[in-house]
Amino acid sequence: MAEHHSTPPDVSRARNPRFQKAMDRASLAFTASVGFDWRLLPYDVKGSIAHATMLAQRGIISQAAAERIVEGLKTILRRYEAGELTPRLEWEDVHMNVEGHLFELIGPEAGMLHTARSRNDQVALDMHLYMKDQGQQLRQELEHLIAVLIRRAESDFGVVIPGYTHLQAAQPVLLSHHWLAYVAMLGRDHERLSQWLERVDCSPLGAGALAGTPYPTDPAATAEALGLSKLYENSLDAVSDRDFLLEFLAWASILMVHLSRLGEELVLWSSQEFGYVTMDDGYSTGSSMMPQKKNPDVAELVRGKSGRVFGHLLGLLTVMKGLPLAYHSDMQEDKEAVFDVVDTLHGVLPVAAGMLATLRVNGERIRTRVGRDFSAATDLADLLVARGVPFREAHHRVGQLVGQLEASGRGFDQVSDRELAELLAPLQREDLARLKPEALVAARTQSFATAPEQVQAALRRAKARWGLEG
């Protein structure tokens, strides 16, 4: 294909006679988006190929021109993928860069591409295509993380940990039950993402700047060619809707709430004070000063990255809240927010999965904690209730006993004969044997509770839902 270096590209501001002078450098640098929207190029090219093809089909441009345009666009994409194409600031954004490069490749016919199109419907389309792609990739990464949690629940089966409320040991639960709680949370994130993907699957192309165009275009045909299953209902909404980005950021924020809670838990559990888990060396760092330190950096940053994600949600909500219809340049602020969140999640999801898959659970250590933490107190009171003691009185008696045991550094296995007679009558010493953590866990048999057979059933359901049979 011959290249036309002789004429300056049509898209150059210098060639628009509306303006008497070139754009101020600082103002160009301030308004240009090519520094960050360059990643949209493959989607922009895809959209332009569909648009040019439709223009020719409808007789709006000639078949021959469309063919040269499409060839040129394919060359641009090849060069981009080979790293041979450089963004030019003076062309402002990725859309004008594509048109500019196309002009350099095929000459003035490049100027036909933008017939019956505005950058407003163009950028909206690019974002839909990009987000659909990213959403599908993120969904796979999320599925992998869910699978890792299910495998953990399987391999850690039988380990009893103290369950907490107020971060005080409350009642023992199976560690597998704990992992499956995260599987449930991430399962909702997965469901929300899938529902969102259905809404993103919608084409704004053809809305033009805001009102539609006077050309006999075929928006349904371009939507179909691009693999988008429906069209916007209203052209004003098509160019100014950023709900799909707000929803994505809100979705990501809730996901990050879940991962941040998990990260926080692992930071605690890997501390010397807890010692429930040991991070794999591959997921820990040392201290530059203190030679003994092994820090759970990955877990900390999984927690810490939530800040920027929440921040971007609030940022874009604020950008959008006062905008009259339809497009405004304010909306260009959507990109860095959304791209940063996409990149953040591509970082967080795989590394969280790796950290969890390689985590070592310190069963012995947990066993010493779960036996001595008074988390059997409710069940001890329940034993009294079974012998006719009113619950409130049982609650008081056990509370007093715990106070005494704690003050002298003892557990329920070291109750004195006198305490037994004074506080626990009519219970006998052998009744106390029923307070073993495993027995307490086994007694909680509701379908969603922590008894081993229920957790086994939950595990089977999770494996079936996430395709992990065998």
Q: Of 174-182, 225-233, 326-334, 452-460, which segment contacts ligand ARG by CB under 6 A? A: 326-334
Q: What residues are annotated to the active site?
A: 166, 287
Q: Smallest distance from the beta carbon of 32 to ligand ARG, in angstroms? A: 8
Q: Smallest distance from the beta carbon of 235 to ligand ARG, in angstroms? A: 14
Q: Smallest distance from the beta carbon of 330 to ligand ARG, in angstroms? A: 9
Map the chain to HEC letters: CCCCCCCCCCCCHHHCCCCCCCCCHHHHHHHCCHHHHHHHHHHHHHHHHHHHHHHHHCCCCCHHHHHHHHHHHHHHHHHHHCCCCCCCHHHCCHHHHHHHHHHHHHHHHHHHCCCCCCHHHHHHHHHHHHHHHHHHHHHHHHHHHHHHHHHHHHHCCCCEEEEEECCEEEEEEEHHHHHHHHHHHHHHHHHHHHHHHHHHCEECCCCCCCCCCCCCCCHHHHHHHCCCCEECCCHHHHHHCCHHHHHHHHHHHHHHHHHHHHHHHHHHHCCCCCCCEECCHHHCECCCCCCCCCECHHHHHHHHCHHHHHHHHHHHHHHHCCCCCCCCHHHHHHHHHHHHHHHHHHHHHHHHHHHHHHCEECHHHHHHHHHHCCCCHHHHHHHHHHCCCCHHHHHHHHHHHHHHHHHCCCCHHHCCHHHHHHHCCCCCHHHHHHHCHHHHHHCCCCCCCCCHHHHHHHHHHHHHHCCCCC
* 174 backbone dihedrals φ, ψ, rounded to 5°: -75, 140
Q: Smallest distance from the beta carbon of 82 to ligand ARG, in angstroms? A: 25
> What is the longest distance spanned by two Cα atoms in the chain?
104
End-to-end CA distance of the chain: 55
**Which amino acid is residue 278, in one-letter code?**
T
Q: Smallest distance from the beta carbon of 324 to ligand ARG, in angstroms? A: 15
Q: Which is nearer to ligand ARG, 37 or 109 (CB)?
A: 37
Q: Which is nearer to ligand ARG, 249 or 262 (CB)?
A: 249
Binding ligand ARG by CB under 6 A: which of 65, 123, 200, 383?
123
Binding ligand ARG by CB under 6 A: which of 278, 284, 295, 332?
332
Beta bridge partners of 161: 173
Q: Which is nearer to ligand ARG, 119 or 397 (CB)?
A: 119
Rounded Cα–Cα distance for residues 246 and 199 (Å) = 12
Binding ligand ARG by CB under 6 A: which of 120, 171, 213, 222?
120
Q: How many residues bind ligand ARG (CB under 6 A)?
A: 11
Indicate whether 331 belongs to the interface with ligand ARG (CB under 6 A): yes
Q: Which is nearer to ligand ARG, 121 or 247 (CB)?
A: 121
Q: Which is nearer to ligand ARG, 33 or 134 (CB)?
A: 33
Binding ligand ARG by CB under 6 A: which of 119, 152, 305, 397?
119
- Both tokens of 238, joined, read 């098509």
Q: Of 3-11, 217-225, 324-332, 339-347, which segment contacts ligand ARG by CB under 6 A? A: 324-332
Measure CA 277 to chain center: 25
Q: Smallest distance from the beta carbon of 210 to ligand ARG, in angstroms? A: 10
Q: Of 119-127, 216-224, 229-237, 342-350, which segment contacts ligand ARG by CB under 6 A? A: 119-127
Binding ligand ARG by CB under 6 A: which of 93, 189, 241, 247?
93
- Both tokens of 437, joined, read 């953590």
Indicate whether 217 belongs to the interface with ligand ARG (CB under 6 A): no
Q: Confirm if 11 and 111 have CB atoms less than 8 A apart.
A: no
Q: Smallest distance from the beta carbon of 102 to ligand ARG, in angstroms? A: 17
Q: Which is nearer to ligand ARG, 143 or 333 (CB)?
A: 333
Q: Smallest distance from the beta carbon of 80 to ligand ARG, in angstroms? A: 18
Binding ligand ARG by CB under 6 A: which of 9, 11, 33, 310?
33
Q: Smallest distance from the beta carbon of 239 to ligand ARG, in angstroms? A: 9
Indicate whether 239 belongs to the interface with ligand ARG (CB under 6 A): no
Which residues contact ligand ARG (rule: CB under 6 A)? 33, 37, 93, 119-120, 123, 327, 329, 331-332, 335
